[in-house]
Structure 1
């Protein structure tokens, strides 16, 4: 299954900065008709509206507030592509006193938020014909990094949910893509102390578009991610992409 970005109508969560902003701009550069910038504060999208005019529509959406997701799905009833980019990170090793609280916060946004997005928007995508759902996971979904143990756990869970969504949604002509960036030059990477090895957010946008148009489930955008992808390829092909257990 493949999806062409040209002439699509997209919604990107967390589109006002960082990776989300790069995805929004990449989609427009590749021919998307319109992109809903789904953010907690719609005013933060104003600079993008000034640049791209009515191709960008600000819409309120908070992954931790289900009512805003439901309202956004009603407003953006013409979407054919949903990119769930928004996420949170707390620097919490497993033995830290804040670990349980950190994981609860990250699970609510990174995992339950994904489920809320899928449940709200899958019917919209189906009603509009062939569509696509893209989830921003991480290389941390494949390997736990001790200093970000709770974040890694939440991303492993979101990757697992993404696999389940793929199995459920592809029969409805909804393509699902799981994106696994390494360190990307964003505020989150800076806060995590990864600025020196971080790569441009535009790589994520490019990887998403290529995966959509090639029909790939996994996307590994940057140098670290590509290394993970190469090491993971055999398992992904023989286990993740296999339908044997589902039959």
Structure 2
């Protein structure tokens, strides 16, 4: 799709990849961007950059009523980016199950809530695109990363499933698999890992640019940074090697 004709909504837009995507979409001529976050106060610096084109939106994706309200407040969306997510480090046999449930409820079920609410919106506006921010973590159950890899694997399968359902409704669906991107989430995760070793990291702005390129090109799967593209190549040549590659970072 052409972003310069789009009205976008980005969840988790107050920081990291989400914030960078808002900026990137505006630079490509998006008509407006609905920037969503649980706490609208965290969006104020972003909105100040383009108050005439950025619309702040309060949205907790784990709250069905809030999701319904967001769909009513943003009836013009043609490009939906499901970026909001949650991390929770720890080993699955030891970590608090409430933390495990919170990760799954946010990354999988929360995204599904948003998809169910906004697919009819995008369809009514003549079709468009959905991009789900997954993770290369979906390809290996890294022990110290708790439920996060499982939640992202589930999100990858969800993305495949709804792609089939939404294609006849004029909506393309893109799975985005970032590797280490310089965000607060990465800093949180690396504080619990032994080492990232020599893994290259990417800026959020560079990742956002690659994601936008992939959406405009119609790529079903987008690997937006150097390490992600290394995983992509490994998936093609040595699928089991992806597991070794990712587990070596635990």
Q: Distance in 1 between matches of 2:31 and 2:238?
A: 37
Q: 1:84 aligns with which of 77, 82, 85?
A: 82
Q: 1:56 to 1:94 in 2, by over 3 A?
A: same
- Where does the alignment leave 5 or more consecutive residues of structure 2 unmatched? 240-250
- Please give the alpha-carbon distance, in whole angstroms, between the structure 1 residues aligned to 2:233 and 2:118: 32
Q: How do residues 56-205 of structure 1 correspond to structure 2 at under 5 angstroms?
A: 56-98=54-96, 100-193=97-190, 197-205=200-208
1:40 aligns with 2:38: yes
Q: CA RMSD in A?
A: 1.7
Aligned residues: 233
Say if 1:177 and 1:218, in contact at 8 Å, map to a contact too.
yes
TM-score normalized by structure 1?
0.90
The CA distance in 1 between the partners of 2:95 and 2:47, in whole Å, is 43
- Conserved? CA contact 1:103–1:154, under 8 Å: no
Superposed displacement of residue 221, structure 1: 0.9
| Residues 6 and 32, structure 1, Cα contact 8 Å, conserved in 2 | yes
Whether the 8 Å CA contact 1:125–1:174 is kept in 2: the answer is yes
Stretches of structure 1 that go unaligned for 5 or more consecutive residues are: 237-247
Give the direction of change, closer, same or farther, for the CA distance of 1:235–1:115 in structure 2 (3 Å limit). farther
Match of 1:146, SS state, is coil
Once residues 48 and 152 of structure 1 are traced to their aligned partners in structure 2, the CA distance between those partners, rounded to angstroms, is 30
Give TM-score, length-normalised by structure 2. Answer: 0.89
CA distance in structure 2 between the partners assigned to 1:115 and 1:140 by the alignment: 19
| 8 Å contact from structure 2 (residues 7, 32) kept in 1 | yes
Question: Hey, what's the Cα distance between the residues in 2 that align with 1:10 and 1:181?
Answer: 20
Distance across 2 between alignment mates of 1:77 and 1:193: 39
Any idea what SS the aligned residue of 1:106 has?
helix
**Which residue of 2 is the match for residue 227 of structure 1?**
230
CA distance in 2, matches of 1:86, 1:204: 15
What is the DSSP-based 3-state SS (H/G/I as helix, E as strand, rest coil) of the residue aligned with 1:147? coil
My pick for the range that moved more, 199-208 or 34-43, is 199-208
For residues 179-229 of structure 1, the C-alpha deviation after alignment (integer angstroms, 9 at most, x for no partner) is 000111111110111797532011221222111121111010111100111
Q: What's the offset of the Cα at 1:234? A: 7.0
| Cα separation, 2, equivalents of 1:78 and 1:234 | 42
Give the SS at the match of 2:162.
Answer: helix
